[in-house]
A = this chain, B = another copy of it.
Amino acid sequence: MSPPSAMDIEIKAVTDTSAVAVPDPLTINGIPAWREKVAKMPTGVAPECSSDMWKSPACYTKPKAKRFEHFLSQEAKSRKASTLKSAAGYLKNPGIISLGGGLPSAEYFPIEHLEMKVPTAPGFTPEETQTSGSILHAGKHDIKEGKSLPGNFSELWSSYWIPPNFSASSLSTPSTYAWDTALRLFTERGDYIMMEEYTFASAAETAFPLGLKALAIPIDAEGIVPEGMDELLSNWDVQARGARKPHVLYTIPTGQNPTGATQSAERRREVYKVAQKHDVYIVEDEPYYFLQMQPYAGEGAAVPPPPATHDDFIKSLVPSYLSLDVDGRVCRLESFSKVVSPGSRVGWIVASEQIIERFVRNFEVSSQHPSGISQIALYKLLDEHWGHTGYLDWLISIRMSYTNRRDALLHACEKHLPRDIAHWVAPAAGMFHWIEVDWRKHPGVAAGKTLEQIEEEIFQSAIEQNVLLSRGSWFKADKSATMEKMFFRATYASASFDRIDDAIARFAASLREQFRL
């Protein structure tokens, strides 16, 4: 008998041994059979879809998520269901003629069909796409004619992350927008939110105009330090802070932006315990989750071979907070922007039913839904063409590409950067490399220059050398905090592969010039 395959048991469990005992029949290999049993997806123009339409019955036997009314803002609590979208429920009546909703007839949409040329797994190179690629076709009347079903295709990816309690998911435009909405759901003006000490600058800039302040949580090479978070919360002084104790943690657990840090399974468990102790809601922003790379083999060593099977790949992934969640206190923000298509503005969120319902109430009178054209393109590619197994092939393929890019950057750093002033840890995921530069050795210090002034000088010197890096100070969660260390963020995602070495050589030249080495 062959050993059980990760493809046949609940995916979330495989790297989280504590949860292996909880089986779930909705697995990747089980999906085709499950779909046969599921009610047909609703069709028509912008039909209402729900994750209830495809969720495995096992989800319903699990304990219910806790309710979190006390986390909801005044705005979120006062949202009601959209009157007009509720009325659309009557469209299910057979034979009904609708003079109800103002949705134009398909006659007045000029796009007859849409086609895309895409690679066929596992041949993902441009050359292979040329020879073995496929043309995917979406006709205007496909849905009506029962040919295609671009319903709630978040089934595909949510099924990786079904937490051990009742959960739901909703399509959204990706993380920045979902985070903006989360802030409207969970916070009031004057609140503090917890963020990694250095965080995605746009996430912080989304929050500040809402009257929110960042409580910077200390981090190390594995991201959030749970003891540091616990201490800040345990010693919270409402009077001194002029604000209630923070109840929202924003974290990028995998390939963190900007530090590149990835929280281990153990670290996540510890942070989750602190969240339980202080009744904190966790928003995990995971755009880089599937950019977990091969272990860094070191200078001159060969890249380890790719995961031999889909099972090995899935086993290699660190568990999501969602998979550790027993209370329903986690909302996971998902995005295609980094692994399939930036600019398609399609993402999805997974959280407990209560929280998703509040998100949807906000979405339906704001962004409404991601672009239908994007949804069709992604549905055709990911569901109809690649399916889960082809998508896993794709993810393994970009894992290897990012591993090669990261390694090229690390090799360049090892080759060019002055080791007495530049320090780093090899990133295990994502697209960012966080380089510490020992600013106290800069000659400007003797002249009384601040860290910020020196950082600016180095940044401008690099620009003069024609290389762009990001300044560490841009990513400070708490702009008022004093920086002890100086960092630069380098990404290996966007430059052409051949120029990575040159880029770091240029940065090294500016460091040597600045530090008079």
- Chain A contacts to B: CB under 8 angstroms: 45-46, 74-76, 78-80, 82-84, 87, 90-91, 93, 95-105, 107-119, 124, 126, 129, 133, 173, 176-177, 180, 201-202, 205-206, 208-211, 257, 338-346, 362, 364-374, 377, 381, 394, 398, 401, 409, 431-432, 463, 466-470, 474, 490-496, 499-500, 502-504, 506-507
Q: How far is the CB of A493 from chain B (nearest CB, A)?
A: 5
> In the bound complex, what is the Cα–Cα distance between A118 and B100 (angstroms)?
29
Contact B368 A371 (CB under 8 A): no
Contact B116 A366 (CB under 8 A): no
Q: Within the complex, which residue of B82, B372, B377 is in contact with A343, where a contact is CB–CB below 8 Å?
A: B372
A-B residue pairs, 4 tightest by C-beta: A343-B372, A371-B371, A100-B468, A99-B490
Q: Within the complex, which residue of B104, B107, B466 is in contact with A95, where a contact is CB–CB below 8 Å?
A: B466
Copies in the assembly, this chain: 2
Q: How far is the CB of A409 from chain B (nearest CB, A)?
A: 8
B contact residues around A46 at 8 Å (CB): 342-343
| Most interface-central of A82, A99, A205 (chain B CB within 10 A) | A99
Interface pairs (8), CB distance under 8 Å: A45-B342, A98-B491, A104-B338, A110-B124, A111-B116, A342-B372, A370-B371, A373-B374
Q: How far is the CB of A18 from chain B (nearest CB, A)?
A: 33
Quick one: given A111-B377, A339-B108, are A202 and B467 in contact (CB under 8 Å)? no
Contact B117 A432 (CB under 8 A): no
Quick one: given A474-B87, A491-B101, are A176 and B344 in contact (CB under 8 Å)? no
> In the bound complex, what is the Cα–Cα distance between A507 and B97 (angstroms)?
10
> In the bound complex, what is the Cα–Cα distance between A91 and B467 (angstroms)?
9
Contact A365 B463 (CB under 8 A): no
Q: A45-B494, A46-B342, A87-B470 are in contact. List 17 more A-B contacts (CB 8 A).
A: A75-B209, A75-B210, A76-B209, A83-B201, A84-B201, A84-B474, A99-B469, A102-B257, A103-B493, A107-B401, A109-B340, A110-B340, A111-B341, A112-B126, A115-B115, A115-B117, A202-B364
B contact residues around A491 at 8 Å (CB): 98-102
B contact residues around A366 at 8 Å (CB): 176-177, 180, 206
> In the bound complex, what is the Cα–Cα distance between A224 and B432 (angstroms)?
55
> In the bound complex, what is the Cα–Cα distance between A235 and B346 (angstroms)?
48
B contact residues around A346 at 8 Å (CB): 371
> In the bound complex, what is the Cα–Cα distance between A466 and B97 (angstroms)?
6
Contact A373 B343 (CB under 8 A): yes
B contact residues around A374 at 8 Å (CB): 371, 373-374
Contact B99 A365 (CB under 8 A): no
> In the bound complex, what is the Cα–Cα distance between A362 and B211 (angstroms)?
14
Residue of B whose beta carbon sits closest to that of A115: B115
Contact A108 B370 (CB under 8 A): no
Contact B494 A105 (CB under 8 A): yes
> In the bound complex, what is the Cα–Cα distance between A367 and B175 (angstroms)?
9
Quick one: given A112-B118, A173-B367, are A466 and B96 in contact (CB under 8 Å)? yes
Q: Within the complex, which residue of B365, B394, B431, B468 is in contact with A206, where a contact is CB–CB below 8 Å?
A: B365
> In the bound complex, what is the Cα–Cα distance between A499 and B95 (angstroms)?
11
Contact B495 A98 (CB under 8 A): yes
Residue of B whose beta carbon sits closest to that of A96: B466
B contact residues around A370 at 8 Å (CB): 345, 371
Residue of B whose beta carbon sits closest to that of A469: B99
Contact A401 B345 (CB under 8 A): no
Quick one: given A93-B466, A102-B432, A133-B112, are A82 and B202 in contact (CB under 8 Å)? yes
Q: Within the complex, which residue of B107, B112, B344, B463 is in contact with A373, where a contact is CB–CB below 8 Å?
A: B344
Q: Within the complex, which residue of B210, B377, B468 is in contact with A114, where a contact is CB–CB below 8 Å?
A: B377
B contact residues around A80 at 8 Å (CB): 205, 208
Contact B202 A103 (CB under 8 A): no
B contact residues around A463 at 8 Å (CB): 90, 93, 96
Contact B116 A114 (CB under 8 A): yes
Quick one: given A82-B201, A467-B96, A474-B84, are A116 and B118 in contact (CB under 8 Å)? no
Contact B103 A342 (CB under 8 A): yes
B contact residues around A111 at 8 Å (CB): 116-118, 341, 377, 381
> In the bound complex, what is the Cα–Cα distance between A504 and B98 (angstroms)?
10
Residue of B whose beta carbon sits closest to that of A174: B368
Q: Within the complex, which residue of B107, B211, B345, B499 is in contact with A372, where a contact is CB–CB below 8 Å?
A: B345
B contact residues around A78 at 8 Å (CB): 208-209, 211
Contact B115 A114 (CB under 8 A): yes
Contact A115 B116 (CB under 8 A): yes
| Most interface-central of A46, A97, A129, A346 (chain B CB within 10 A) | A97
